[in-house]
Amino acid sequence: MSTFDEIYQKIKAYPTIILHRHTSPDPDAIGSQAGLARALRAKFPDKKILCAGENDEGDLAWINTMDEVKPEDYKGALVITTDTANTPRISNKNYDKGNFLIKIDHHPDVDPYADMSYVDPDAPAASEIVVDFLNAEGFEITPEVAYPLYAGIVGDTGRFMYQETSAHTFDVASQLASTGINITEIARNISDVTFAQAKLQAAVMDYMTVDPSGAAYAVLTQADLKKLGVTEDQASVTVSTPGRIKDVIAWNVFVEKPDGTYRVHYRSKGPVINHLAEKHDGGGHALASGANAQDMDEVKQIFAEVVDVTKKYNEEHE
């Protein structure tokens, strides 16, 4: 793993820097990308700093929107990915067209795709790593920089509830909050849902199947989304819904895409599930991951695997 200073030296050497994050972004993906980009623009006003993505921010456009990045911008450029564990999940597939690639991430490093990387799986959010980098290299963290980074940390720690949250996380959050950003606004933007999304959350409860092991799943079809006027990205608000049930230990939410395949969300209160996601073109954290399923047969296979690890978890913790 590279050091912060080694990454900083690369940043200083390139006149054009293009930052990527993962597809179907969450607050940490956009927050870490935007926070780093804004800090770099402030410190290096003569450099071209661009945020690249597939304009799939959806309801998270309040954190940041993408720049227009042309293919020719990659010539001789430094490319940095944040919060992206593997290459299939990188938003905008031109990421490999630059001169040098750096990866900054907090997922297990199952795909060491970059020329240089800083990966800390113990960090609860990529945004926390970005703050550590900025502090280590003497960057000024202004409110404009702090806003997306705080949003990223709040999002990926589940409002500071997930087990990866540490005392250092609170120190970083305090530093960002002390810049004067509106932390109440950020919390509301992350937690608020539309009436249609609330109805979809209720539908997940209706559709949910719970195995005696404590594993559960629900499938949301394109017909369900269209009936309520909810987009595929907006359906992500349902991912934590099954976890509100006391007896549910691990679960999947499957969201059908327009092409008939499924976006797969894995969540867990104990059983490790990221190795399961890796088997299905995905990955992530031990207790929160994402993957893809080609059809209902693969959906059934995925849930069977979750049932299996949940049963084993129960046996080990009796």
Cβ 219 vs Cβ 183: under 8 Å: no
Considering its fold, how many domains does the chain have in total? 2
Residues 24 and 46 in one domain: yes
Residues 102 and 202 in one domain: no
- Does the global pTM surpass 0.75? yes
Domain boundary residue, one of 147, 164, 190: 190
In sequence order, which residues have a C-beta less than 8 Å from that of residue 138 and are 6 or more positions away? none
DSSP 185: H
Match 């996601």 to its residue by tokens: 277
pLDDT at 286: 86
Residues 140 and 207 in one domain: no
Domain boundary residue, one of 190, 216, 246: 190
Residue 80, classified by CB atoms within 10 Å of its CB into exposed (0-12), middle (13-18) or buried (19+), is buried
Residues 231 and 282 in one domain: yes
Residues 22 and 153 in one domain: yes
Domain of 161? 4-190
pLDDT at 47: 98
Helix axes 27-43, 126-136, angle to 10 degrees: 20
Summarised one tens digit per residue, pLDDT across range 97-120 is 999 999 999 998 989 999 999 999
In sequence order, which residues have a C-beta less than 8 Å from that of residue 198 and are 6 or more positions away? none
Match 């780093």 to its residue by tokens: 36
Q: How far apart are CA 144 and CA 7, in angstroms?
A: 22
Closest Cα to residue 112, out of 133, 85, 92?
85
Mean pLDDT of 189-216: 93
Summarised one tens digit per residue, pLDDT across range 22-67 is 988 999 999 999 999 999 999 999 999 999 999 888 889 999 999 9
Summarised one tens digit per residue, pLDDT across range 246-300 is 999 999 999 999 999 999 999 999 999 999 999 998 888 888 888 999 999 999 9
- Per DSSP, what are the bridge partners of residue 101? 79
For residue 157, give the CATH number of its domain: 3.90.1640.10
